């Protein structure tokens, strides 16, 4: 099958500013906790990503001025789009947080998270199970869109297929989003019960595209450029969002961009080229944070970059404890730069996977009806982002 496809750019507008944001390349970097920080976003933008979304920020932490959260909302000057994902459980808090991040951080795109599968969030009625309470969900979305629209900023929304196979939510979420002025819906084609396990159900993306007039962005199991093209072709979605497939591989966005231009390419950087990109990532990270925090944050990235290359266990152990840029340079200098790319890693899942859950942890009686809420839903919202 031809792994190229001509896909138009994406217009993301607010209700009163339809042309607010033009995305020439409809390929997004998904928000990932502890990963999509400024340095990594800059690298992905340079490689061809259209929009790179900051890791999830909790609305409550923004409103309360939590210091850690404030530090997480930093954008690099080199980022062409300042896109920030918010998670909130009450309309007033989400509205205040949206206004704050636009005014203080210059956010140009607000993405709402309604897909988190983490038990400590779902057990209190938040994350991917919150849209079950349809009127609360509608009120939160309406508050976010109206708040952002005061500044002409578009709002997108990310969700999942449903809580589990017996409790789908995608069509309810999509209809509310469309009714309330959301610019686009991103569907991670797994249920909350699946978390990150198993195979994404792209047919659900196809169904949502058919049901909505607003753009649908597909997410799930994009490991190579060919996967992105096949998703676009088979589902009719308006764009794709890449998450775990980009871990240690920001050049994946260049491959996808080339495929969208009719020039399919599979970049296979050798070990030296990967090390050069890894070092640049580390330098950007240190500049954005400081050396101790920047290098501690790089440890996970380092192992992702070097995955599949013949790097000995002792060296991997040293790299997992690296504390300074000079130490990283010294450790990498001993590697054989001409070592070819490990093609056996192509197309394989990366990052967390795990197993599907036998049941999703929720408040007692949560599924009994779509309206009543017998718990303090605000307890599902962490007061510190990244928690």
Active site residues: 116
CA 231 from chain centre, in angstroms, equals 17
Which DSSP category does 141 fall into? H
Question: Tokens standing for 228?
Answer: 């992105």
H helical segments located in 110-194: 119-122, 134-149, 170-179
Say how far apart CA 257 and CA 251 lie, in whole Å: 10
- Helix, strand, coil % (nearest 5) of the chain? 40, 15, 45
Comparing CA positions, the residue from 103, 233, 240, 90 lying closest to residue 158 is: 240
Q: How many CA atoms lie within 13 A of 35 on its CB side?
A: 23
Residues forming beta bridges with residue 156, ordered by sequence position: 111, 184
Torsion angles phi and psi, residue 138, rounded to 5: -60, -40
Say how far apart CA 148 and CA 44 lie, in whole Å: 26
Say how far apart CA 27 and CA 127 lie, in whole Å: 24
End-to-end CA distance of the chain: 43
Question: Tokens standing for 121?
Answer: 């969030």
In this structure, the number of other CB atoms found within 10 A of the CB of residue 333 comes to: 9
Say how far apart CA 69 and CA 86 lie, in whole Å: 11
Q: Cβ neighbours of residue 54 under 8 Å, at least 6 residues apart?
A: 31, 36, 37, 41, 72, 73, 75, 83, 84, 85
CB 31 within 8 A of CB 113: yes
């Amino acid at each position: 099958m031809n792994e190229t496809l001509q896909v138009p750019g994406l217009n993301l507008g607010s209700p009163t500013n339809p042309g607010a944001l033009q995305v020439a390349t409809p390929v997004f970097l998904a928000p990932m906790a502890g990963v999509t920080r400024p340095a990594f976003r800059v690298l992905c933008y340079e490689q061809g990503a259209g929009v790179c979304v900051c890791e999830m920020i909790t609305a409550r932490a923004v409103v309360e001025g939590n210091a850690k959260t404030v530090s997480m909302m930093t954008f690099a000057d080199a980022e062409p789009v300042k896109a920030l994902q918010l998670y909130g459980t009450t309309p007033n808090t989400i509205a205040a947080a949206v206004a704050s991040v636009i005014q203080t951080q210059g956010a140009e795109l607000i993405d709402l998270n309604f897909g988190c599968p983490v038990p400590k969030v779902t057990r209190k009625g938040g994350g991917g199970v919150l849209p079950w309470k349809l009127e609360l969900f509608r009120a939160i979305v309406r508050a976010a869109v109206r708040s952002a629209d005061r500044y002409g900023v578009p709002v997108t929304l990310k969700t999942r297929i449903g809580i589990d196979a017996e409790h789908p939510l995608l069509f309810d979420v999509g209809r509310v989003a469309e009714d309330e002025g959301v610019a686009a819906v991103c569907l991670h084609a797994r249920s909350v019960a699946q978390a990150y396990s198993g195979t994404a159900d792209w047919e659900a993306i196809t169904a949502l595209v058919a049901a909505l007039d607003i753009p649908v962005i597909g997410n799930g199991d994009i490991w190579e450029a060919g996967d992105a093209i096949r998703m676009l072709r088979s589902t009719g979605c308006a764009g794709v969002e890449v998450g775990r497939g980009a871990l240690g591989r920001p050049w994946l966005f260049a491959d996808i961009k080339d495929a969208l231009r009719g020039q399919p390419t599979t970049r296979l950087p050798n070990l030296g080229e990967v090390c050069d990109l890894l070092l640049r990532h580390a330098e950007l990270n240190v500049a954005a944070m400081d050396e101790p925090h920047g290098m501690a944050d790089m440890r996970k990235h380092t192992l992702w970059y070097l995955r599949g290359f013949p790097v000995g266990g002792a060296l991997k152990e040293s790299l997992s404890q690296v504390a300074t840029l000079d130490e990283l340079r010294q450790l990498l200098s001993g590697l054989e730069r001409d070592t070819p790319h490990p093609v056996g890693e192509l197309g394989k899942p990366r990052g967390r996977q795990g197993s599907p859950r036998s049941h999703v942890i929720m408040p007692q009686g949560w599924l009994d009806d779509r309206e009543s809420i017998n718990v303090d839903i605000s307890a599902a919202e962490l007061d510190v982002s990244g928690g």
